[in-house]
Amino acid sequence: MIPAAFDYVVPRTLPEAVAELVKHGQEAKVLAGGHSLIPLMKLRLSTPSFLVDIGRVGNLTYIREEDGHVAIGALTSHHDIEFSELLKNKLPLLTSAASQIGDPQVRNRGTIGGAAAHADPFGDFPACLLALDAEFKAVGPRGERSIAARDFFVDTFTSSLEPNEILREIRIPTPPPGSRGTYLKFSRRSQDWAIVAVAAQVRVTGHEVTQVAVGLTGMGSRPIRASGVEQALRGKAGHDDELRAAAERAVDGTDPQQDLNGSPDYRRHLAQVLTRRALEQITAHH
């Protein structure tokens, strides 16, 4: 299908972009890489009459470390995340997830800010950002505010951004030494959306798991923290039986949906298997 007619503006600064959103109210939508919004418009599931394309706003494409945080500009592409040396060293969970998103075209155009704001329950970055306790910097008519990841993802395709706010930056606390992360996803074909995926971040000090965070994709209407897994593993040595027992708790508090890709029970089984594999992978080298 062809999208409904819309007007289009390309502001050069964030304040300009916010002003356009305020001016056009409910009719307006923000366009970043376009890989989330355009498909919805083609299906007419989203019919904004006004698009504010922030793709040419300067200074929103960067990955840098500052004050104990890694800061990622909202327009940073999946490709840039996948190949960032800084992230490979400090946040391999993100490079691992980025490398599994779509195909090269999508990775070159899609942006982390767009993926986060889109809040697709089957998107890959939301569960990672939730597991990493990311903080989202959003700019609106009243200035800038910070939103914690646990408050950012609200429901299917719903973030806590106000209609006239724009995501500027994602900040992630730099994990301490001994931290490792990975993203495992199960999908029908290599470039498909996940049926279920697991974002795991673990820190082992000495012979003990001192920090553990697990985010789940596809197990509810938004990404979920598997707090049962986290509690079960924290303070343990990470032996196989402990990993297995912890992974079984990946289904606690989840609400997976029934769709063409799988039943809730199938998803629950996948969540447990993938969680166990992810935990095995990142605790194996200690």
Task: Check whether residue 89 and residue 126 sit in a common domain.
Answer: yes
DSSP bridge partners of 138: 145, 167
> Which of 154, 172, 190 lies at the terminal end of a domain, its last residue?
172
**Is residue 13 in some structural domain?**
yes
> Which of 149, 172, 195 lies at the terminal end of a domain, its last residue?
172
Residue 190: per-residue pLDDT: 58
Residue 286: per-residue pLDDT: 53
Q: Which of 220, 199, 222 is nearest to 277 (CA)?
A: 199
How large is the average pLDDT for residues 29-54?
79
How large is the average pLDDT for residues 21-38?
82
Q: What is the CATH number of the domain that holds 103?
A: 3.30.465.10
Contact partners, residue 107, CB within 8 Å, separation at least 6: 77, 78, 79, 82, 98, 101
Q: Which of 17, 78, 6 is nearest to 42 (CA)?
A: 6
**Is residue 58 in some structural domain?**
no
Which range is least confidently modeled, 27-36, 56-65, 122-131?
A: 27-36
How large is the average pLDDT for residues 159-185?
94
Task: Check whether residue 44 and residue 80 sit in a common domain.
Answer: no
pLDDT in tens, 96-138: 999 998 777 778 788 999 899 989 888 899 999 999 999 999 9
Looking at the structure of the chain, the number of domains it has is 3
Q: What is the CATH number of the domain that holds 43?
A: 3.30.43.10
Task: Check whether residue 30 and residue 111 sit in a common domain.
Answer: no
- Check: CB of residue 199 under 8 Å from CB of residue 97: yes
Task: Check whether residue 166 and residue 247 sit in a common domain.
Answer: no
> Which of 124, 147, 172 lies at the terminal end of a domain, its last residue?
172
Task: Check whether residue 95 and residue 164 sit in a common domain.
Answer: yes
Q: What is the DSSP letter of 101?
A: S
Task: Check whether residue 190 and residue 253 sit in a common domain.
Answer: yes
Residue 64: per-residue pLDDT: 97
Residue 42: per-residue pLDDT: 76
Residue 5: per-residue pLDDT: 75
- Check: CB of residue 239 under 8 Å from CB of residue 286: no
Residue 1: per-residue pLDDT: 67
Q: What is the CATH number of the domain that holds 220?
A: 3.30.390.50
Under the banding of pLDDT at 50, 70 and 90, the label for residue 285 is low
**Is residue 126 in some structural domain?**
yes
Task: Check whether residue 209 and residue 274 sit in a common domain.
Answer: yes
138: containing domain: 63-172
**Is residue 121 in some structural domain?**
yes
**Is residue 109 in some structural domain?**
yes
Per-chain mean pLDDT for the chain: 90
Task: Check whether residue 164 and residue 114 sit in a common domain.
Answer: yes
Task: Check whether residue 68 and residue 163 sit in a common domain.
Answer: yes
Contact partners, residue 39, CB within 8 Å, separation at least 6: none
pLDDT in tens, 215-260: 999 999 999 999 999 999 999 988 999 999 999 999 998 988 888 7
Task: Check whether residue 164 and residue 231 sit in a common domain.
Answer: no
Task: Check whether residue 166 and residue 199 sit in a common domain.
Answer: no
Q: At 14, is the secondary structure helix, strand, or coil?
A: helix
**Is residue 76 in some structural domain?**
yes
Task: Check whether residue 124 and residue 35 sit in a common domain.
Answer: no
Residue 194: per-residue pLDDT: 80
d(C-alpha 102, C-alpha 85), whole Å:
21
**Is residue 1 in some structural domain?**
no
**Is residue 143 in some structural domain?**
yes
- Residue 255 belongs to what H/E stretch? none
